[in-house]
Structure 1
């Protein structure tokens, strides 16, 4: 699937067949607006995008990730504007690490912004069917907040979906909990974000999108940090949040490694060679994992720069054709 800037470049000469019944006919090419869709794996991002745009982006089953790269849906007309929806992987992706996801999202947001392209808004998908917002979901939402920044909350819609898969009273109770508790959505709702329901209909999707199409353009924190402030990606708020977890992982690995070494010494003293060898293999795996976590920041910085260059190369090649 083409990347964001290539999608932007082609959005001026393609149109979806999904009609907007209220859009006024026009003989000129509508001005394009861009909306990013984020959320945890399996939250319905791609299904929402396909419904609204008439695209056929691949949809995963259950909690298995299919969106393991940034994808751009085909443009479609809504309210006299050409709308481009951008699909992103979640930070609980089943095939990529969180640093890989951050690298991709950052590079594909920074590249168009550096060329003068701004966003109309961001949609965050949340399953109302979830019994609770667990650790992975909270981490994904925290990363979402760090990417957007408070200045962009006026352009954020939190979209709850999958209402038909749960009892209405239970779903409404969950919605109220998400709306009212500080550990969930209340802080960003208090600062201008909207909470909307999506009933899986085209009309519902278009209503949600219209609320963003009408807004002034916004710049996300990650775009401002990496382009305007010229920060390294490891100096971004998003990486700072991710790095806290990486450091916690590293400390756990160090403690586990110390325990394994103690057990190896005991096995050696007991002349239990079979156990000692098994513990040695486990310790080597733990050392490799510890090294990976400790070098994650360096790897992210180098791979982010490589991703930027790759996108720029693809754009230049497309323009030559």
Structure 2
């Protein structure tokens, strides 16, 4: 019995090197979840995956960088959900957000991985699709590109916060108005409801299961076409937004300057003081926007290269640990096998216990390799840890 178990363990350990390349690729599903800050992206992921990603409870965003939830099984498929920050983050600029998302997507694509789909979440409780939501959705479209929209699911949530008739009226407007979701739906995207239950969340994922994984526009632009991030459609969209902001700020500054001249002429000291404070605040904001625009073209290549290096280092470290454990296990099993034939029954019982411990160590090593291999959820988990390290979220 023990010898048979010994042979089974030896055979299993001998297959460690093939774990990654023998994993069934067709059963792996990676899905990105996008949308403005506070729409419930992280809550959706935690609900359906059983994860415990941190959720924001106020206006301050908790998802400041791309987060990868641990893979989970659904109908025999390994599912990995990717949580992304919105382009209205309270802690990081839009330029930093775009660089983070772009670095993640480019690294994914370079490693031969494609997303099965993208979920975009919108609150049906919003009275209207305001400036923040509109800007986020424009950036989302530029990231995806037209050819990928058939793999997109637009999810409306927070239905419990509105009456049914009100919600359905808003949904109909979103689906039929060219200013909102109609152009995307016309290209094959799907509009689905989420009622905050695990069942509805799983139904959304089931819809994506049937997709053929595709590359996003920004992945092709950065990797295949080797564009600078500012030359991508998303980068150009962000630069247009920067230009519009600067134009508005210059107009506001001109108005303040005129009001300042009027206050000086009228010797209104209180008005001068208030206008000076407003002017200083506006100039600070203008400097921030200009700095964000400049930062868009800097750091991305370095950031992406560092991300790839961290992944490579992690994979090499795991590989070395597995190889070391393999040698130790093989040596220890040989020792046990040599002693087996010449031992008493009591000693054999003790050796059975040691065989069990050896099996447990092997299973732990196997799990370590899977979590750091380049296949499926392991790849995305590895990438998530590299992102945490890159942006200072882990030791």
Distance in 1, Cα, partners of 2:259 & 2:126: 41
Contact 2:93-2:292 within 8 A present in 1 as well: no
Q: How far apart are residue 287 of structure 1 and its match?
A: 3.4
Distance in 1, Cα, partners of 2:266 & 2:165: 61
Looking at CA atoms only, which structure, 1 or 2, has the larger radius of gyration?
2
Q: How far apart are residue 136 of structure 1 and its match?
A: 1.0
Task: State the partner residue of 2:161.
Answer: 165
Contact 1:72-1:87 within 8 A present in 2 as well: yes
SS of the residue 1:302 aligns to:
coil
Task: State the partner residue of 1:95.
Answer: 91
Distance in 1, Cα, partners of 2:292 & 2:60: 24
Distance in 2, Cα, partners of 1:108 & 1:116: 13
In structure 1, stretches of 5+ residues that fail to align are 1-11, 14-26
Structure 1, 183-192 or 281-290: larger mean CA deviation: 281-290
Structure 1, 289-298 or 96-105: larger mean CA deviation: 289-298
Q: How far apart are residue 96 of structure 1 and its match?
A: 2.1
Contact 1:30-1:82 within 8 A present in 2 as well: no
Alignment equivalent of 2:30, drawn from 34, 47, 62: 34
Contact 1:257-1:283 within 8 A present in 2 as well: yes
Contact 2:242-2:293 within 8 A present in 1 as well: no
Distance in 2, Cα, partners of 1:186 & 1:281: 44
- Seen in structure 2, the aligned counterparts of structure 1 residues 29 and 215 have a Cα distance that, compared at 3 Å, is closer
In structure 2, stretches of 5+ residues that fail to align are 1-18, 318-395
Structure-to-structure mapping, 1:203-218, within 5 angstroms: 203-218=199-214
Distance in 2, Cα, partners of 1:292 & 1:195: 37
Matching of residue 318 in structure 1 with residue 330 in structure 2: no
Distance in 2, Cα, partners of 1:136 & 1:44: 15
Alignment equivalent of 2:80, drawn from 81, 84, 101: 84
Q: How far apart are residue 257 of structure 1 and its match?
A: 2.6
SS of the residue 2:112 aligns to:
coil
- Seen in structure 2, the aligned counterparts of structure 1 residues 278 and 162 have a Cα distance that, compared at 3 Å, is closer
Matching of residue 59 in structure 1 with residue 48 in structure 2: no
TM-score, length of structure 2 as denominator length: 0.69
Task: State the partner residue of 1:19.
Answer: none
Task: State the partner residue of 1:294.
Answer: 290
Higher helix share: 2
Matching of residue 75 in structure 1 with residue 71 in structure 2: yes
Q: Greater relative contact order (Cα 8 A, min sep 6): structure 1 or 2?
A: 2
* Alignment: residue pair count: 297
Q: How far apart are residue 81 of structure 1 and its match?
A: 1.9
Structure 1, 159-168 or 294-303: larger mean CA deviation: 294-303
Question: C-alpha deviations, 1:21-53, integer Å up to 9, x for none?
Answer: xxxxxx979732210000111111111111111
Alignment equivalent of 1:112, drawn from 94, 102, 108: 108
Q: How far apart are residue 288 of structure 1 and its match?
A: 3.9
Task: State the partner residue of 1:17.
Answer: none
